[in-house]
Amino acid sequence: MKKIALAFSPQTANRLRAATLAAVCATAGFAASAPALAQTTDWPTKNVTIVVPFPPGGSTDAVGRVMAQGLQTQLGQTFLIDNRPGATGTIGAASVKRAAPDGYTLLFASLGPFVISPHLIKGVAYDATKDFDYISVPVQAPNVLVASPKQTAQTVADVIAELKKRPGAVSFASSGNGSSDHLSAELFWQQTGTQGLHVPYKGGGPAVNDLLGSQVDFSFQNVNTVIAHLRAKSLRPIAVTGHTRSPVLPDVPTLAEVGVQGAEIYSWQGFAAPKGLPPAVLKKISDATIATFRDPAIAKRMTDQGLEIVANTPEEMTAFQSKESARWKQLIETRKITAD
């Protein structure tokens, strides 16, 4: 057979050589990326750390441990809770922001580090809207306005009347500056044209203890935090901050029902990862988280404590975080709230 020689211009020959080189590089690149792709698909292949930026024993820690056990069941790998408290959750959150976005270091926190503290504390070492990939909000709970045992107020109208009678002197305990219970009080005062005395504590436990001892008058506490005291009648519920009545407090009205509009607040926990999580890993974590909290046994365990199941998608949590952040930024600036 005769060989046919093809003649090309120098420009065409250069283009052919460039195309051949690109094809070789692409093939080599695909081969090099194969192990990384396999690692993403196989995740998790080792223990996963979930940073909870608060001390052990609190509400976020308790829900986080339930979630960790559920993820372990769903994904067949160990999920460990690492408590890193400090600076209202921002120290632990910042440590996750600096971690590798490989799915082996995750963040589980209350709304504080995600939508409140960045507007309240100067020099927070992360941007909550840019430095995390959001996974899900597993649960939320309304706050409940509760009265101490020595308080005579029975209704929201009674509370407002007392605030107007003693402006700036009726005390409201909170678990700390910028907490959801503190901001619930600020929003309540704003919407009712009143002003109380904010008494911040270092955590919900000490605040509830002084409320039980009648050292303070009122508090907006997470329903799940005080439900045992409400059932024991050692604290008196007056109203809840949700859009609807709480299933565990069906006889307690919402603030909106009694005429206080625009004061709907939920305390929620969110699950996030360092920015840049591979999409396949994000989907695995999200699917497993949603499945965990939609499991009937776990869902009942949560709702019995006054928590409400949300279990939303990454896209839904991302939109929710943005909306919540804007809302709390506006309140903090309007009320001139500081972390001091």
**Preceding amide of 314 cis, omega within 30:** no
Q: In the CATH scheme, what is the code of domain 142-258? A: 3.40.190.10
Query: Which amino acid is present at 299?
Result: A
CATH superfamily of 48-140+267-335: Bordetella uptake gene, domain 1 (3.40.190.150)
Dump pLDDT digits (tens) for 62-115: 999 999 999 999 999 999 999 999 888 999 999 999 999 999 999 999 999 999
Our measurement of the distance from residue 214's CA atom to the centroid of its chain's CA atoms, rounded to an integer in Å, reads 31
Write down the pTM of the prediction. 0.83
The ranges assigned to domains in the chain are 48-140+267-335, 142-258
C-beta of residue 198 within 8 angstroms of C-beta of residue 182:
yes
Between 38 and 202, the more confident residue is: 202
**Preceding amide of 55 cis, omega within 30:** no
The C-alpha atoms of residue 245 and residue 26 are separated, in whole angstroms, by 59
Helix (H) or strand (E) holding 38: helix 10-42
Fold match between domain 48-140+267-335 and domain 142-258 = yes
Dump pLDDT digits (tens) for 221-272: 999 889 999 999 999 999 999 999 999 999 999 999 999 999 999 999 999 9
